[in-house]
Structure 1
Amino acid sequence: MWANKIQTLRENSSIYKPLQERLDALQSLKRTLQKYESQILEALYKDLHKHSTEAFLTELFQVYEELEFMITNLPKLIRPKKAKTPLTHFGSTSKIYAQSYGVVLIISPWNYPLNLSLIPLIGAIAGGNCVVLKPSEYSTHTSALLVRIIEESLASNLVQVVLGDSKIGGALLQET
């Protein structure tokens, strides 16, 4: 089943994602996280016994900060940058264009299940990539909520969440 998800992402990864599409995805993720904030804090308590203040500061706050940074600065970050032109090409100019990698695999650990899933996800989306996200099997409540948040906020041809144990993680590493 997850092999079909990866194939869908591969097919979509060759399509250039314009700035506005990336910004829309990040803003949608932010709105959905805000909608589920109390449920996220509850899931983190069930999984790790994190008090709501600690969970907010170590998980959600950092994710919100990363989202805000990317939404604000992405237009500047993806602009072509001037580069030195070799003397052999005298009279011309050189620029560096940022391009996506394609499909990115994110395997997150159990101890910061939201933070270490979503911060790399934000960077990958901002970079124009498609993502396979495999949350930890040890933080079951947070992982289940991540599935719901991702499905509600991001297109399935952009991000796919795969749940499972370390054998699934190993197979995903071989596949991507």
Structure 2
Amino acid sequence: MSIPDIVERQREFFNTGATRSYAFRKKALEDLRRALQNNAALINQAIRADLNKQEMETYMTETGMVLEEIRFHLKHLHGWMKQKTVPTPMAQFHAKSFVAPEPYGVSLIISPWNYPVQLCLSPLVGAISGGNCAIVKPSAYTPATSGAIAKLLGDTFDPSFIAVVEGGRAQNSALLEQKFDYIFFTGSVAVGKVVMEAAARHLTPLTLELGGKSPVIVDETADIKLAARRIAFGKVLNAGQTCVAPDYLFIHKAVKTRFIEAYR
């Protein structure tokens, strides 16, 4: 099926209103949770093949975080969906005002290679909770994990609701030519600009989670040993390939020498 056909099929399904109910969203989240739990070995093998990440780190930084995200959404979903009464302006004194959360529609999630499960499926949890359909585009730089995600989601959901598009830049470009109702992109600033430009053509709202610099400030009141351990952990986790991994330090001169010794 072509990319335009996938988008059109999802739009038709969304327009049926099927994704709007609490029962539908709850079941979809529970189905995703079950699929993650039942396919733990598949995910571990795929991430090991792509990134040589061990099972404990995979659970801590990938699947475990997605499962926690699902738990949190299931706990709060009913409350998030409720209509909320708000004050009415005097000019409309005869009316009542409220805010009613509404799904966006068909969403696009483009994920990176460094956390190929967590940064792909956590946004998907949000899309499902919001009552949206979603097309997921995993990174081509983690082909084994991309294939595992395609199998996991393909076995769990109808593509008219949740679909996976694998591939590289050609597929990204083809997706960005389509009109989506929301785009969630995680990656570099350079590609983020391309995504934002494409979204602007359709006035599509989007979230950009981009790389940047992550300084650490250690002042004279800090627990030096604890600070050193936490900074070292943050720097080596996932081989340092984390957007919020410490880049450089600002250390108060009064504790500089103590910190260097503790870090060593």
Does the alignment reach a TM-score above 0.5?
yes
- What is the rounded CA distance, in whole Å, between the counterparts of 1:54 and 1:104 in structure 2? 29
Secondary structure at the residue paired with 1:50?
A: coil
**1:87 alignment partner, one of 67, 85, 90:** 90
Give the match for residue 15 of structure 1: 16
Structural mapping, 1:5-84, within 5 Å: 5-16=6-17, 17-84=20-87
Q: Which residue type is aligned with residue 4 of structure 1? A: D
Give the match for residue 3 of structure 2: 2
- What is the rounded CA distance, in whole Å, between the counterparts of 2:71 and 2:158 in structure 1? 20
Query: Which deviates the most, 6-15 or 108-117?
Result: 6-15
Q: Which residue type is aligned with residue 33 of structure 1? A: L
| Unaligned segments of structure 1, at least 5 residues | none
Give the match for residue 107 of structure 1: 110
Q: Where is the helix percentage greater, Structure 1 or Structure 2?
A: 1
- What is the rounded CA distance, in whole Å, between the counterparts of 1:37 and 1:67 in structure 2? 16
- What is the rounded CA distance, in whole Å, between the counterparts of 1:2 and 1:33 in structure 2? 26
- The higher-RCO structure (CA 8 Å, 6+ apart) is 1
Structural mapping, 1:117-128, within 5 Å: 117-128=120-131
| Unaligned segments of structure 2, at least 5 residues | 180-264
- What is the rounded CA distance, in whole Å, between the counterparts of 1:74 and 1:120 in structure 2? 15
Q: Could you say what the CA RMSD is over the residues aligned between the two structures, in angstroms?
A: 1.1
**1:146 alignment partner, one of 145, 149, 156:** 149
Percent pairwise identity: 35
Give the match for residue 158 of structure 1: 161
Structure 1 residue 89, shift from structure 2 partner: 1.6
Structure 1 residue 33, shift from structure 2 partner: 0.6
Give the match for residue 136 of structure 1: 139
Cα shift readout 1:56-77 (whole Å, capped 9, x = no counterpart)? 1000111001100111110110
What is the number of equivalent residue pairs in this alignment? 176
Where in structure 1 do 4 or more consecutive aligned residues deviate above 3 Å?
none
Structure 1 residue 19, shift from structure 2 partner: 0.8
Query: Which deviates the most, 15-24 or 115-124?
Result: 15-24
Q: Which residue type is aligned with residue 30 of structure 2? A: Q
